[in-house]
Amino acid sequence: MVGPWPHRPGTLRALLTILKGACYIVCRACERYAPLSAEREDLDRPYEPCPFVCSQCGTRAEIVMDSPRGFTLTTPATRRRKRLAFRKDPPVRLGPWHTPSF
Q: What is the pLDDT of residue 26?
A: 92
| pLDDT above 70: residue 102 | no
User: For the residues of 19-42, what is the DSSP string, one character each?
Assistant: H-S--EEEETTTTEEEE----GGG
| pLDDT above 70: residue 96 | no
How many other C-beta atoms can be found within 10 angstroms of the C-beta atom of residue 16?
16
Check residue 64 and give left, alpha or beta (phi > 0: left; psi -120 to 50: alpha).
beta
> 41-80 in b/e burial notation, b at 16+ Cβ within 10 A?
ebeeeebeeebbebbeeeeebebeeeeeeebeebeeeeee
Q: What is the pLDDT of residue 101?
A: 55
- What confidence tens digit (pLDDT) does each residue in 42-87 have? 788 887 888 888 888 888 988 888 888 899 888 877 766 666 666 6
